[in-house]
Amino acid sequence: MPLKVGDIITFERTFTKRDVELFTEISGDEGIHHITPDEQGKVVVQGLLTATLPTKIGGDANVLARTMNFEFLKPVFTGDTILCEVTIGRYEEKDHNRMAIAASFLCTNQNKKQVLRGNFAGVILS
């Protein structure tokens, strides 16, 4: 089904300690808050790991991103379930084999607190 302006696409993920360990290994982001658990046994999820939520949705639509903007509002901890809602703001033919796309996104945790918002723009090759 093709996308259209106004569509809202959602994706939900619960971040685990293993996710953070793997991202730490790949990114080299070894901030103490990512590797030392708090009194509840949780660590802070890297911001860019949280930012994989809207990029996953873009990947599902085969978006080649040109710009991405992130505003990190609250920390995300291991065990948190984050819901990402992407709203399509622009979707139009650019030329014969490319569609231009722009979207905004909002990520909330299981307590309905906003943790991340932003936008992206790019193209989809057909």
pLDDT value of residue 76: 98
pLDDT value of residue 58: 83
pLDDT value of residue 1: 52
Assess if residue 19 is contained within a domain.
Answer: no
97, 64 contact by CB (below 8 A) = no
Interior angle at CA 38, CA 111 and CA 74, nearest 5? 40
Please state the domain count of the chain: 1
Look up the CATH number of the domain holding residue 101: 3.10.129.10
97, 126 contact by CB (below 8 A) = yes
Mean pLDDT, consecutive 10-residue stretches, the chain (126 aa), reads: 88 96 90 87 95 89 93 98 97 89 97 98 90
Instruction: Give me the residue label for tokens 């873009």.
Output: 58
Assess if residue 22 is contained within a domain.
Answer: no
Domain hosting residue 116, numbered range: 8-14+46-125
